[in-house]
Amino acid sequence: MDMTLSGLNPAHFQGHVDGKDTALYVLVNKNGCELAVTNYGARIVSLMVPDKEGKMTDVVTGHNNIQEYLSSEEPYFGATCGRYANRIAKGKFTIDGVLYDQLPINNGPNTLHGGVKGFNFHVWDAHQIDSQTIEFSRISPDGEEGFPGNLRVKVVFKLTDDNAVDITYHAETDKATIINLTNHSYFNLSGAGDPYIGDHLLCIDADYYLPTDDTAIPYGEKSVVEGTPMDFRKLYEVGSRINEPFIQLVYGKGYDHTYVLNKKHPGEFAFCAECISPKTGIVMDVYTTEPGVQLYTGNWMTGNFVGKNGQRYPMRAAICLETQHFPDSPNHENYPSVILRPHEKFESHTQFKFSTRK
C-alpha cells in the first residue's frame, strides 16, 4: 500500500474494533488535494491543500494509526460527533413530557458529544462511491448512551474540484429523539504541528453568541458580540484578545462558544466563517445550513503526545469551527428545535472550502 501524500501508511489503519474492520480511505481531486478519512468515528485524518507557493500542506491534526486513535487524549480529532454534539446539561432532557435522564456524564456535570461512547468511538460502515466521495453509515440503537429511538445515520464526505470538503448528514428515526451532528476537525492552516493558531485571522458572520456558565452550558439568551472580545464580524487575529479578563474567556481558557449565525432564512446554506493563516496564505471559508458554529481554540490541548509525523499539539495549536445546533437545545424552548420524529428526515450540509491569498 502506498503512503498517502500526508505521510500516512494505510496499513496502520487496518484494525479490528468491536468486531468490525477499520481502514483508511483516500479521496483525491483533480488539483491533487487529498482527504484521508477513517471509518473509526467517520473522521478526517489528514487534509492536504496547497499553500500560496503551491506546496501541499496538511491542515488538520491527527494520529498515525488506529491504535493511537483508540487511546487518544483528544478523542474528537476530525470525528463525526453525535448523537448529540456539544453539551447537554446534567445529562437529561424531555421530549413530549417523557424525561430522559440516563445520559452519561462525561464533561463536568454534563454530557458531551453523545456521551462516553459517542459516534466518534464507533466503527461505521464505509462505501467509497468514487475517487472523491465516501459514505459512512451506522444504526445507533434505541437506548444507546441513553438516547431514544433507533437512528439510521449517514455522513457523506466529498472532496470537490474547487478544493472544498463537502459534508452532508442524513438521519431517520423510529421514535422521537434529539440529534445534533458535527465534524470536529482541529485545523491549523499554517500546517498541522505549527504550535499556535493565535496569528490566524478569523471572521464569523454572527452578531450574537451564547454566553455560558462555568460548565460551558448556555444561560439561554444570546448576547451581542459588539464591544466584546467575542466580536469576529470582521477579520481579527484569533489571539489578539484571547487572554483578556473577559469572564466568558476566563471560563473556557479561551474561545469555546457557540455563535448564532446571521441567517436570512432558517436552514439556508450560507457563509459562516473565514479563517486565514498569514504564514501559508491558506484561506478556509465555511458554509453551512446549521444555525450555529462552535468556535473552539484548542484551549485544553496539552502537547503531551506525539501526533502525525512526530508532531506535538500544544495548547491552542488548532482551531475548531463546529457547525451545529446550539448546546443544550432540548432544555431551551427558545432555541431551534433538535427533535427528530419518525417519518421526518434530518439533513445538514457543511462545506470547508480552501483557497490562498498572497
Binding site members: 86-87, 184-186, 256
Gap between the Cα atoms of 261 and 324, Å rounded: 10
DSSP code of residue 3 = P
Distance, in Å, from the CA atom of 209 to the CA atom of 221, rounded to the nearest integer, reads 9
Q: What nine digits make up the cell of 294? A: 462552535
**Whether residue 290 lies in the annotated active site:** no
34 given a catalytic annotation: no
Print burial letters for 107-127: b (CB count within 10 Å at least 16), e (below 16).
beebbbbbbeebbbbbbbebe
The active-site residue out of 113, 145, 322, 325 is 322
* Cα torsion through 289, 44, 326, 345, rounded to 10: 50
DSSP for 10-21 reads GGGG-EEETTEE
Q: What are phi and psi of 326, to 5 degrees?
A: -80, 150
Extract the annotated binding site for beta-D-galactose. 86-87, 184-186, 256
φ, ψ dihedrals at 265, nearest 5°: -135, 135
| C-alpha separations of 2 from 25, 101, 120, 288 in Å | 12, 48, 26, 34
Measured CA to CA, the distance from residue 36 to residue 90 in angstroms comes to 36
Cβ-in-10-Å burial (0-12, 13-18, 19+) of 299 comes to middle
DSSP type of residue 250: H
Burial group, residue 265, by CB count within 10 angstroms (0-12, 13-18, 19+): exposed
Q: Which of 63, 122, 184, 325 is catalytic?
A: 184
> In the block, which residue shows the cell 472580545?
229
CB 173 within 8 A of CB 341: yes
What residues are paired with 140 via a beta bridge? 151
Using an 8 Å Cβ cutoff, are 244 and 257 in contact? no
Encoded amino acid at 67, one letter: Q
Task: With H, G, I as helix, E, B as strand and everything else as coil, classify residue 176.
Answer: coil
Residues annotated as catalytic (active site), given as ranges: 184, 322
